[in-house]
Structure 1
Amino acid sequence: MSFAHPSYLWALLGLLVPIAIHLWSKKEAKTIKIGSVQLLSESKSRQSSSIQLNEWWLLLLRMAIISLITLVMAKPQWQSKVNNSKLTYIIEPQLARNENFMARFFDVQADQEIRLLQSGLPINDIENANSEDFRSADNWSLATEMNAIETDSIIVFTHGYAKELKGARPETNHQINWIVLDSTQTVEKPLLAYQTEKNITLFTANNSPAASKIAKKNIEIGDVYQLTSNGDSLQVSSSSQGATKIPLIQQKALEVSLVYADSLSTDKTFIEAAMAALSTYLDREIKVESSLENEVNENKETDLTIWLSTKPALVSARKTLVYKNDSISNALIIKGEDVNTFYITERITTENAVTGRLTENLLNILDVDKELRELQANADIRSVTEADLKTNFIKNKTSKTHQASWNLNPYLWVFLLVLLIVERFVAYKRTQ
Structure 2
Amino acid sequence: MVLTHPTYLWALLGLLVPLAIHLWSKKEAKTIKIGSVQLLDESNSRQSSSIQLNEWLLLLLRMLILALVLLLMAGPQWRIQHNKKQITYLVEPSLANYSSLMGLLDSLSESSQVLLLKQGFPEWEQDFELPSEPMVPQYWQLVQRMDSLASDSIVVFTRAYVEGVKSMRPKTRKKIHWVVMESDTLFEKPLLAYQREKDMELVSLQGNGQTTYFKKQTLSDGFSHAGDSLKLEVDGNMQTVPLVDLDTVHVNIMADTEFETDRQYLEASFRALSKFLDRKIQVQSVDADVENEVGLNIWLRKKKWEPKPGKWLVFKEDILSNTLIKESGQSNVYWLTSTLNTENTTQKHFTEQLLRLLDLDAAVTPLVTQYDQRQMDVAELKPNYVGEPKKKERTTLLDVSQWVFWILVIFMVVERVTAYVKRQ
TM-score (norm 2): 0.69
User: Which amino acid counterpart does residue 123 of structure 1 have in structure 2?
Assistant: P
Change (3 A) 1:214 1:314: same
Q: Is the Cα contact below 8 Å between 1:207 and 1:380 reproduced in 2?
A: no
Q: Measure, in 1, the Cα distance between the counterparts of 2:93 and 2:145.
A: 17
Instruction: Classify the secondary structure of the residue corresponding to 1:191.
Output: strand
Q: Measure, in 2, the Cα distance between the counterparts of 1:271 and 1:247.
A: 32
1:307 corresponds to 2:306: no
Matches within 5 A, 1:302-381: 302-313=294-305, 315-381=307-373
Structure 1 spans left out of the alignment, 5+ residues? 12-68, 411-432
Q: Measure, in 2, the Cα distance between the counterparts of 1:336 and 1:153.
A: 50
Instruction: Classify the secondary structure of the residue corresponding to 2:363.
Output: helix
Q: Measure, in 2, the Cα distance between the counterparts of 1:151 and 1:78.
A: 16
Change (3 A) 1:377 1:78: closer
Who is 2:210 aligned against? 210
Change (3 A) 1:225 1:80: closer
TM-score (norm 1): 0.67
Q: Measure, in 1, the Cα distance between the counterparts of 2:162 and 2:2.
A: 44
Instruction: Classify the secondary structure of the residue corresponding to 1:318.
Output: coil
User: Which amino acid counterpart does residue 305 of structure 1 have in structure 2?
Assistant: N
1:271 corresponds to 2:266: yes
User: Which amino acid counterpart does residue 275 of structure 2 have in structure 1?
Assistant: T
Q: 2:384 aligns with which of 379, 389, 392?
A: 392
Matches within 5 A, 1:18-417: 81-84=80-83, 86-96=86-96, 105=105, 112-118=112-118, 120-124=119-123, 130-132=130-132, 134-166=134-166, 169-220=169-220, 222=221, 224-227=222-225, 229=226, 231-238=227-234, 240=235, 242-291=237-286, 295-313=287-305, 315-398=307-390, 400-402=394-396
Higher alpha-carbon deviation: 361-370 or 88-97: 88-97
Change (3 A) 1:336 1:241: farther
Q: CA deviation at 1:341?
A: 0.7
User: Which amino acid counterpart does residue 225 of structure 1 have in structure 2?
Assistant: F
Q: CA deviation at 1:96?
A: 3.3
Higher alpha-carbon deviation: 81-90 or 341-350: 81-90
Change (3 A) 1:317 1:138: farther
Q: Which has the larger radius of gyration?
A: 1
Change (3 A) 1:309 1:298: same
For each residue in 1:120-161, what CA deviation from the matched residue of structure 2 results, as whole angstroms up to 9, or x when unmatched?
343237699755564324423432332343422111111122
Q: CA deviation at 1:242?
A: 1.3
Q: Is the Cα contact below 8 Å between 2:77 and 2:397 reproduced in 1?
A: no
Matches within 5 A, 1:2-21: none
Q: CA deviation at 1:348?
A: 1.3
How much is the aligned-residue C-alpha RMSD, in angstroms? 3.9
Who is 1:422 aligned against? none
Q: Is the Cα contact below 8 Å between 1:301 and 1:316 reproduced in 2?
A: no
Q: CA deviation at 1:117?
A: 2.6
Q: Is the Cα contact below 8 Å between 1:82 and 1:404 reproduced in 2?
A: no
User: Which amino acid counterpart does residue 164 of structure 2 have in structure 1?
Assistant: E
Change (3 A) 1:354 1:145: farther
Change (3 A) 1:250 1:278: same
Q: Measure, in 2, the Cα distance between the counterparts of 1:376 and 1:342.
A: 25
User: Which amino acid counterpart does residue 280 of structure 1 have in structure 2?
Assistant: K
Change (3 A) 1:141 1:129: farther
Equivalent residues, number: 341
Instruction: Classify the secondary structure of the residue corresponding to 2:352.
Output: helix
